[in-house]
Structure 1
Amino acid sequence: MRVPRTWQRGGGLLLAAVLMVSGCDVGKGAGGAPGGPRPEPLRAEAKASHPPAGVPAEFTGGQRLRWARCAAPSGARRGGYECATMKAPLDYRRPGRGTIDVALIRKRATGPERERIGSLLFNFGGPGVSGVAGLPKYANQYEPLGERYDLVSFDPRGVGRTIPVTCVARRFEKGDACPKDSGKVLPYIGTSQTARDMDLIRYLLGDEKLHYFGVSYGTELGGVYAHLFPKNVGRLVLEAPVDPTRDLVEGDIAQVKAVQRAFDRFARHCVSAYDDCPLGRAPGQRVLALLHKLDKTPAGTRDKDKLDGTDAAYAISDYLDRGKEGWRPLATALDDALTRGDTRDLMDEADDHKPRAKARSAPSDGDGTSALVAVTCTDSDLRPGYDRADDMARRIKAASPVFGEAWSNGPYLCYEWPFDGERADPDVSAQGARPILVVAGTGDPTTPYEGGRHMADELGEGVGVLLSVRAEGHGTYPQNACATRAVDTYLLDGTVPKDGRTCG
């Protein structure tokens, strides 16, 4: 799914990051509603009949979600939102270690109660994207689903109002990392802990099965949930899927190759379709020369951040994330930059997505980059030494002549991280789960198409169902009519498309 350009969910499994953390601080727990005094509570939600296994009764039998009306964040098209706070264990493996507050938001189903299916939980990507801020901004894209589902989202661990991790981010330098005394919650904000939060959310929402729509990084979160709780899987959509078979570096290499291919397709179209296309016979060389020029002399003023070659490379990739809708604006931006030295369009695109960390997503509001780094390093066990990291960086550079340099800092991201990561890649095997719909675009520049087949295969035979969509850009729902019909039919009627079906 593509969304308005407030932020873009996306990126491959590994960080092509140019940011690092140098000193972290851990924020306080979540509040119930965003901003202002707490409104009068509405009725409490009923609970499902089977609570999450191994979770103490204080979080299940002794807890109800008490929803209160809350003002929609700035940019929301409509009101009618309710917010709540859920208590959860800090560490599900040892629940007695403490509790956290998880911030929730929902919009009730608009159709008749007799036709209501349940709740549909969303994760919009990241890690680092706030669901409390995201749902009101983008709920209009899900209006057909919102007739029969309560649309629900949440701030995952490390994000927004759920134990936010705040790091001081700056241009990457080797050897820096969050020091060991930066915060006691850092080991507990990874994907597997957040997936356990989702099952507690399911139970407290009163749903026997989890219905879920995950985008980009949200597909990894959904896959890990299915692995941990296969019997609790309802109707799950994993859209623009990450590749669960690749570690961070292999994911970076796959992603930077996909961005290069998307640029090459754009360049061919630009040369053949636009009279003002500035790329000529050697588009990659012209753009690479621009990036090198900006590295030597960044563009900008004292009042704005400087635009260097790395920022410009990410700005170009952001245009490509839009699919063909971004091709004409990208041609204009490059024409301005290459023929007149005017980089304002590229700078505006880069500014929309700073601080820059093109991993599984450009970060969202607030502490998105901090959460992206912290969750990634909590999940991944990649801790290469300098020599090995330098070799990995060279491999990434070699994978793309235009974008390789900008993506090549990823191997250093978790260097000297004070805690061990869980594993090289996520386990999403979910034998015994209901069919899960995986939707992958053939021209996706940030979650490469081959990751969709890998995700479906890793979920397991009879579980992962792949829907391929011939389309440019990062995500296809609701832009592609065929894919949208298939997803809506699955979520509303339970009808699973044939595995391997292709939408043109």
Structure 2
Amino acid sequence: MPLPPRLRAAALTATAMLLCALPTGCGDDDAKGEDLTDQKLSWKDCPAPSTSEGGGQAPSPLPDGDVWQCATMKTPLDWDDPDGDTIGIALIRAEASGDRNSRIGSLVFNFGGPGSSGVTGLPAFADDFAKLRTRYDLVSFDPRGVGRSAGVECEDAEGLDEYLQQDMTPDDDAEEEKLRDSTESFNSACEKESGVTLPHVRTTEAARDMDLMRQVLGDSKLYYFGISYGTELGGVYAHLFPKNVGRAVFDAVVDPTQTPEQGSLGQAKGFQLALDNYARDCASKKEGCPVGDTAQEVKDRIAALLKELDGKPIPGVFPRDLTQSIATDGILQALYSKDLWEYLTQGLDQAYQGDGSLLMLLADSLNGRNEDGEYSNLIPANVAINCADYKPRYTVEDVTAKLPEFRAVSPLFGDTLAWQMISCTDWAVPGAADRPDVSAPGAAPIVVIGNTGDPATPYQGARKMVEALGEGVGVELTYKGQGHGAYSSGSKCVRNAVDAYLLQGKTPEAGSVCP
């Protein structure tokens, strides 16, 4: 499932495989000095995911009866000290289903976040990629800091419940101070629990892990499919290793030219657009819309509900109450995909009657909380990677100065997206840069797909990524649709274009549009 917008870009959640339980992930003194490119992966049946990966059952067999296989790859904890301690990177694969003579190599997926586990994400969406599996081993992984790949830990489940249910859009000085203090406490807990790991979860290091992965998997080029934050990771990889780029696809594209502030403002616009589209769709229903008779009434009633919840929460999933912040998360979750709009309507209708359970369930899915009350490490990993990547450290004063601009682009979500900018204040590790460098002169063509109705990674980011990659690298493909991403949207046009590129090497014409 997608991540909340407080976490830089949306993604698809998942879960990982068994590694060591040391603070740095899997420190291994015996591996010091070893040429890690020579390591042999030991593929075995995948275990059930751990709590940090979201819990649940081991992945079911594939439709043809083949089983998912998991392994652990050693990589340096610190790429500046490649002969030092190592950590384990959790991998999963489904071997190619077609004739081995037609096999191209391994197609590596990253489902975004940052913070999403590819070890659970890939099985969850395997049906979408069945055709690609005819010529590729499908491979994904838990990036460093995620799941069992040296997963970052911060507060316990009780602490996260309290953190997420608090007022995230303060209305006075006292509420501002409380939000600032809780953010500081959360960040201090991350330093206490994962201080050794925090300096080493930057996207540049994850990209170096991917190049090691490419070599260990036996490929001369990296074949790659990145979604949401996975497009940023792919762009950073292309910058660092342009000659190693094989066929690559970026879907639901992060704008690499934006600062965190600009990215948050862009998401405010994107989610407002999605809300506008939902409101029009609901109001147009022949059977009627229980939220409102017109699009404007739908939006007005949602705003009124959130305002009422600010002072008077309603019962949610026992024993928790639905607060304004949790209700907002539930609404945002539903706006990630048009397929969830019907649940948003149902959840809002129930909330008007005093039942906040469905909106809370949507928010729980967004935040990585399972039915047992435990959280994956989705939120800690996301915050840790974002804060390690980006230099800006915004203050309460910065946010209050920017609130009018955010409210102008999104009356409903502006405050939420603005206040989330203080997440990295007082973080223990300095950020690496203002923006990621994705320039990749000399790289092979990369297909970059923008969705005109994407709320979390707005459409304009695709064009910005194409420009930043450099002339002759990015090939833009537009999908006129709704939701986060395009390949899994049901568009045959998008799927046919991507499949032809990845399977046959037929690059789509730049500027192609899929209705």
What TM-score results when the alignment is normalised by the length of structure 1? Answer: 0.85
CA contact (8 A) 1:393 1:410 kept: no
Structure with more helix by fraction = 2
Alignment partners' CA distance in 2, 1:210 and 1:203: 9
Match of 2:357 in 1: 344
Shift of 1:342: 3.4
How far 1:265 moved relative to its partner? 1.7
Does the 8 Å CA contact 2:270/2:458 hold for their aligned counterparts?
Answer: yes
1:259 matches 2:271: yes
Change (3 A) 1:374 1:260: same
Q: Which of 300, 322, 325 is matched with 1:285 structurally? A: 300
Aligned with 1:202 (options 197, 205, 214) = 214
In 2 relative to 1, CA 423–233 (structure 1 residues): closer, same or farther, beyond 3 Å?
A: same
Deviation sequence 1:60-86 (CA, Å, 0-9, x none) = 454222222334652734251222111
Aligned to 1:238, the other structure's residue is in SS state strand
Q: Which residue of 1 is the match for residue 52 of structure 2?
A: none
Aligned to 1:326: 340
Inter-partner Cα distance in structure 2 for 1:343 and 1:301: 4
Separation in structure 2 between the aligned mates of residue 393 and residue 101 of structure 1, nearest angstrom: 42
- The structure 2 residue matched to 1:487, chosen from 493, 498, 509, is 498
Q: Residues 241-390 of structure 1: matches in 2 within 5 Å?
A: 241-277=253-289, 278-281=291-294, 282-300=297-315, 303-323=318-338, 325-338=339-352, 340-354=353-367, 366-390=376-400
Q: CA deviation at 1:301?
A: 5.4
Pairing partner for 2:510 from 486, 492, 499: 499
Alignment check: 8 A CA contact 1:81 1:105 kept:
yes
Q: Amino acid of the residue matched to residue 283 of structure 1? A: V
> What is the letter of the counterpart of residue 386 of structure 2?
T
1:75 and 1:259, CA in 2 relative to 1: closer, same or farther beyond 3 A? farther
Counterpart code for 1:194: A
Amino acid at match of 1:349: L
Alpha-carbon distance, 1:394 to partner = 4.8
Q: Which amino acid aligns with 1:294?
A: L
Amino acid at match of 2:509: K
CA distance in 1, matches of 2:209, 2:346: 45
Partner residue in 2 for 1:142: 129
Rounded to whole Å, the distance in 1 between the matches of 2:34 and 2:348 is: 58
Tell whether the 8 Å contact from 1:333 to 1:346 is kept in structure 2 after alignment: yes
1:152 and 1:205 map into 2 onto residues whose CA distance is 10
CA contact (8 A) 2:445 2:474 kept: yes
Query: Runs of 5+ in structure 1 lacking a partner?
Result: 1-6, 17-24, 32-54, 357-363
SS in 2 for 1:413: helix
Larger deviation, residues 420-429 vs 191-200: 420-429
Asked if 1:29 corresponds to 2:18, the answer is no
Q: Report Cα offsets for 1:350-383 as digits up to 9, x if no partner.
A: 2222359xxxxxxx97211110010000001011
Higher relative contact order (CA 8 A, sep 6+): 1
In 2, the alpha carbon distance for the partners of 1:227 and 1:313 equals 37
TM-score by length of 2: 0.83
Which residue does the alignment assign to 1:417?
A: 427
Relative distance call for 1:390 and 1:429 in structure 2 (3 A) is same
Matched, 1:238 2:250: yes
The answer for the alignment partner of 1:78 in structure 2 is: 61
Q: Is residue 184 of structure 2 the alignment partner of residue 174 of structure 1? A: no
Q: Is the 8 A contact 2:25 2:148 kept in 1?
A: yes
Identity %: 44
- Find the counterpart in structure 2 of residue 426 from structure 1: 436
- SS of 1:65's equivalent in the other structure is coil
- Cα deviation for residue 446 of structure 1 reads 1.1
Stretches of structure 2 that go unaligned for 5 or more consecutive residues are 11-20, 50-56, 169-178
TM-superposition CA deviations, 1:9-55 (whole Å, max 9, x none): 68598479xxxxxxxx9845259xxxxxxxxxxxxxxxxxxxxxxx9
- The AA in structure 1 aligned to 2:35 is F
**Which residue is 1:22 aligned to?**
none
Aligned length: 459
- Does the 8 Å CA contact 1:394/1:408 hold for their aligned counterparts? no
Q: Which residue of 1 aligns with 2:16?
A: none
Query: Alpha-carbon deviation of 1:274?
Result: 4.1
Question: Which structure carries more strand by proportion?
Answer: 1
Q: Which amino acid aligns with 2:491?
A: N
